[in-house]
Amino acid sequence: MKRNEKLKIVVFSGVMAAIVWAVTLLKFPLLGSNVHFGNAMCLLGGLLFGPVTGGLAAGIGSMLYDLVSGGYGIDEAIITLICKGAMGALAGMIAHWGARHNGEGHVRNIIASAVGALSYVGLYMLKTLVYQHFVYGLPWDGTFVAMGMRLPASLINATVAVIAAPMLAAAIRPSLVRAGVMKGKAAE
C-alpha cells in the first residue's frame, strides 16, 4: 500500500469517526432505548470508503461516544468498537466487492446497508444476552424480556440507517469524485 493510500485511510477514518460520534449525540428516546443516526453514518463510511476505512470509522467513532458521551465502561466500549466496526466493514465489503464496484451501485448499497445493519442488530442482541444472563445473572426469561425491550429501537435504528446511508452516499459521492478524493463516476 502506498503512503498516500495509508494517509487517506487515516484521514477519512478520523473524519468519519468524528461524524459518527457527533451524530450519535443527536438522539431521542423511543420504546425504552435511544434512536439516533449514528448507525447510518457507520454504514455511510463503509459505502463511501470501503471496509477498512468504514470499519475503523464506525468502530472508533462509536467507541468514542461510549467512552466520552455515553457513560459506558471500557469493556462495553471495546465491544462497541468490534460490533460497530463489523457493521461498517461488512457494508463496505459488500458495496466494494469485485473490481468493478467501488460503492457506486445504489441497489448494492441498499443490500450492503441492510446486511451491515442487521448484522449489528444480531451482535447487539447477542451482547445483551451475554450481559443480562451471564454478567448480571438475570434468569433466562428476564434476559429475553430485556432483549425484547431493546429490539424495537434497534430495528428502528437499523431501518433508518438502511434508508439514509445509501441516499447520503449517492448524494455525497459525486462531490468526492469531482474533488479528486475518490475514483468513480461524477454526476453531471
Question: Which pLDDT band holds residue 188 (cuts at 50, 70, 90)?
Answer: very low
Inter-CA distances, 175 with 29, 90, 187, Å = 34, 24, 8
Whether the CB-CB separation of 40 and 165 falls below 8 Å is answered with yes
Can you give 72-103 as a three-state secondary structure string?
CCHHHHHHHHHHHHHHHHHHHHHHCCCCCCCC
CA dist., res. 160 & res. 169, Å (int): 14
Helix 106-129 × helix 140-178 angle, to 10°: 150
| Residue indicated by cell numbers 461516544 | 65
Terminal-residue alpha carbon distance, the chain: 31
Q: What confidence score (pLDDT) does residue 35 get?
A: 81
**What is the rounded CA–CA span in Å between residue 54 and residue 89?**
6
C-alpha cell at 17: 469517526
Residue 27 bridge partners (DSSP): 36
For 125-179, the pLDDT digits (tens) are: 999 999 999 999 999 999 999 999 989 989 999 999 999 999 999 999 999 999 9
Query: Where exactly are the structural domains of the chain?
Result: 3-96+104-177
pTM listed for this prediction: 0.92
pLDDT in tens, 52-77: 999 999 999 999 999 999 889 999 99
Q: Cα separation of 38 and 177, whole Å? A: 24
How would residue 186 be classed by pLDDT, with cut points 50, 70 and 90?
Answer: low
User: What sections of the chain are H helices per DSSP?
Assistant: 3-25, 38-64, 74-95, 106-129, 140-178
The number of beta carbons lying within 10 Å of the beta carbon of residue 151 is 17
Q: Which amino acid is at 164?
A: A
Q: What is the CATH number of domain 3-96+104-177?
A: 1.10.1760.20
Q: 62 near 84, Cβ under 8 Å?
A: yes
